[in-house]
């Protein structure tokens, strides 16, 4: 899908209109990407987050970006991995859908995601990639906004897991789009 890509980078330097913060339920900062976003945004972000009353796991809330290049931050608390039998996949998918729906509601055209819950929350990267990509691709198929979504991985290893998962599930879609209508439905007289 032309509207989605995977890259390695520092999400705090993203040029997207909105970046996603893999937050905790207090929204008051933490470790990993959450701490990095709060540090880069400056004290205004924490002050605004204090007015939001936290956020439930799988939901999302919007703030300004303050000192970040991004105009907005979409905060979403991901699930803590407890073995996979406690609804973690549904909650993780909800994180992605909630952020995308909030972006659409605010006419945000470009969104960059980190790999939610795969740091200190311990969600296995390969499983998280499958959940994330399905949630993102399903949303993009049905909605015009956001126009561009990127998965911004902190390491090349993480990006490779996302790329392999994407290619495994969505390479068929890409090949299908490359075929012309004649290739998809050859005429009987073509000798094929």
List the one residue out of 97, 94, 99 whose CA is nearest residue 72.
Answer: 99
Peptide bond into 146 cis (omega under 30): yes
Q: Is 2 an annotated catalytic residue?
A: no
List the one residue out of 47, 105, 43 whose CA is nearest residue 74.
Answer: 105
| CA dihedral (159, 160, 166, 172) positive or negative | positive
From 10, 34, 85, 183, the catalytic residue: 34
Q: Is 104 exposed, middle or buried (0-12, 13-18, 19+ CB in 10 A)?
A: middle
The residue count of the chain comes to: 192
Query: CA 138 to CA 107: how far, in whole Å?
Result: 19
Residue 6 β-bridge partners: 151
* Active site (catalytic) residues: 34
């Amino acid at each position: 899908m032309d509207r989605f890509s995977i890259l390695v980078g520092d999400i705090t330097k993203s040029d997207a209109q909105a970046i996603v913060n893999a937050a905790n339920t207090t929204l008051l900062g933490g470790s990993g990407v959450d701490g990095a976003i709060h540090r880069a945004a400056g004290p205004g972000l924490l002050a605004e987050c204090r007015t939001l009353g936290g956020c439930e796991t799988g939901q999302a809330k919007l703030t300004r970006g303050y000192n970040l290049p991004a105009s907005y931050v979409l905060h979403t608390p991901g699930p803590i991995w407890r073995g996979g039998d406690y609804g973690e996949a549904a909650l993780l998918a909800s994180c992605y859908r909630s952020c995308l729906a909030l972006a659409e509601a605010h006419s945000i055209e470009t969104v960059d995601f980190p790999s939610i819950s795969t740091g200190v929350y311990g969600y296995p990267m390969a499983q998280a990639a499958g959940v994330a990509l399905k949630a993102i691709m399903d949303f993009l198929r049905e909605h015009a906004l956001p126009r561009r979504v990127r998965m911004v991985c902190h390491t090349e290893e993480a990006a490779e897991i996302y790329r392999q998962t994407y290619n495994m599930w969505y390479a068929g879609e890409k090949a299908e789009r490359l075929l012309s209508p004649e290739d998809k439905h050859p005429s009987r007289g073509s000798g094929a």
